[in-house]
Structure 1
């Protein structure tokens, strides 16, 4: 059985994600208590149930977790049963979640004097879940369609390794991604944007990639980046981390950062016990000229 646990902050897109998984052939259940999830998984995996479920998606938020101990029991259950699972944590900025709740006029499940205080308290309470999630998605700039497509893409991928590494490019002019573990800045390198023949291209194009990497400082910077990343991966794994998010930023997120992300991801893909995937944020947001 394949299992996807959708969790994260209220208002970050859990309902949309579960609908996307349902469209992908998953049997979905929302607001599942940890104790019920454990009971269900034990019976499904041990064949004690007449249900024939091959793909299951569970929505679990702060209301379903009464204590850190209960959450750890769920994780221990997943490990002991050797369940093939992904835990997708949906995050978003406080401002975006605040606006979403103001638009829908729904009550936040985490009771507090103000809505903003509710969001902050929930973020603190869900930090332990964030740390143990295999995939973290910042939905601040996502439309429902973009999030659905992202979830469907994850649903069709296989989790084969013990740490997932997400390498993404971004433009500082559009803000820094909030879910990064490591962030590198390549704005110090010559910018292809000012080369007329390269301006409208991206780091995915051979001409741009070769231009970015043609400078001695580019090669030296790359070697230092990759050396640090390779050093950090075993430390993160030793600490029990299952998801590592690496961001490479340049001014617009179109040329230099894209070239670096592609090269770093390619080299990391040769490592054992890792699963590497890439994204180019500004391309997904249609910010590329």
Structure 2
């Protein structure tokens, strides 16, 4: 499948979403995330991890201050701000220039993160938990990633049809707020209110979401869909994640949100060479 091309306008410049896959490095500054909870709550560790991911090829850094793993407890806005704002400040002060995405569904967190230097909003509820976050994205004219998370969907109906219905509602909220269509990406939400079989059905059919006309972000990194298949722990799921990344890229996806940047970047470069032809060979 040839990749559709889109362009995002950020404060720091333009990003093209097309045949060149973009890697988004996950930087959770939480004590309880399913895979890396507590690993990056210290300023020096946050900076070191961000520098590592950028050096390994991350194009965007996604900072999250509230875990969304199954069974996690909601975090008050102030506590979330107390986690993410120092992290954004630390990255800016350390000279990291990769665009920062704020992984939050709360308008107040999105607004203050944008003021601190974030350039992208990544909402796991697709503007449907706190629609005022759409107003924040419109105010800053920033890209917004809208994820599918619908615990109440009709499981007797077709999965993709239900996802399209959800996204149409999210996109209407975005349109009402005045967000440009060119500043939106969709995330099918692997693992979010989807069972084992549904996650693999989604991976197989993810290209059907292109009918909506937006770039796709894929977030399968270290997910339980691999653990339930392979019987391994989150940090042992790097190869499985890379396999899903390559499959989704082959189905036209654009952005890949991962913990393990180098491995997924390498896998994507092989996939790109296969689809579009390799660049000149490097000396080894």
TM over 0.5: no
Query: Which TM bucket (shorter chain)?
Result: 0.3 to 0.5
Structure 1 or 2, whichever has the larger Rg, is 1
- TM-score, normalising length: structure 1: 0.33
